Chains A and B, each alone.
Chain A
Amino acid sequence: DAGVIQSPRHEVTEMGQEVTLRCKPISGHDYLFWYRQTMMRGLELLIYFNNNVPIDDSGMPEDRFSAKMPNASFSTLKIQPSEPRDSAVYFCASSLGWGLAEFSTDTQYFGPGTRLTVL
């Protein structure tokens, strides 16, 4: 399996521009997660989906952020308009399940991340 795929790997944009980050989860995984990592705040969960349905978006910082999962193999995270404080590494992760920690099926596999710089 190719693992979780994210694109682009790097994105540099100017303040006010729209940014779209893409993720392809591991085939067969029912859960998809979007995280953001910064030096100041560490790794934060933004939103997660189960079977393409958003379950918890309480981590989404504000209305400028939106996420969609139109099908089981694709998800997007959009920032519009982007601001310099959005600069971070954005990770997508997927897992088979989301139940008990002892189940190996619930291990989250992270993609390589998208390094976003907003000037």
Chain B
Amino acid sequence: RKEVEQDPGPFNVPEGATVAFNCTYSNSASQSFFWYRQDCRKEPKLLMSVYSSGNEDGRFTAQLNRASQYISLLIRDSKLSDSATYLCVGGNYGGSQGNLIFGKGTKLSVKP
């Protein structure tokens, strides 16, 4: 039973394109959501948290839709350096029941 689902891709896009990833989660009690970036054969690194009101960080915008239980990541003006796998994370922090569930990731390849 996988609680966080992502399209594995790969998404192949040209430089400068806008690309969007969606991720669905099954646990309606989930409170915390993130996007992580993982380069090939490297460790995951936090890209951004996803807040209820949505949030933006430069070319990256994250949105949360609780009613439909999905989160999204929008990358504008994509760069070659954006090529990586993007992991969607959902769950709950804290205590003995705290657990963050990672999706398997969506692979992005930005071409010149």
Contact = CB atoms under 8 A, between A and B. Distances in A.
B99 A56 contact: yes
Given A56-B96, A107-B46, A112-B42, A101 B32 contact: yes
A99 B32 CA distance: 10
Contact of B102 (A43, A55, A111, A112): A43
Nearest to B43: A110
A42 B103 CA distance: 7
Interface residues of B, number: 25
A55 B51 CA distance: 26
A110 B49 contact: no
A4 B4 CA distance: 26
B34 interface: yes
A62 to B, nearest CB: 18
A111 B103 CA distance: 19
Given A42-B103, A56-B98, A101 B31 contact: yes
Nearest to A6: B43
Contacts of B79: none
A42 B102 contact: yes
Nearest to A112: B43
Contacts of B32: 100-101
A108 interface: yes
Contacts of A44: 102
6 contacts: A43-B104, A56-B99, A91-B43, A100-B94, A102-B51, A110-B43
Interface of B: 2, 31-34, 42-46, 49, 51, 87, 93-100, 102-105
Nearest 4 Cβ contacts at the A-B interface: A101-B32, A110-B43, A42-B104, A43-B102
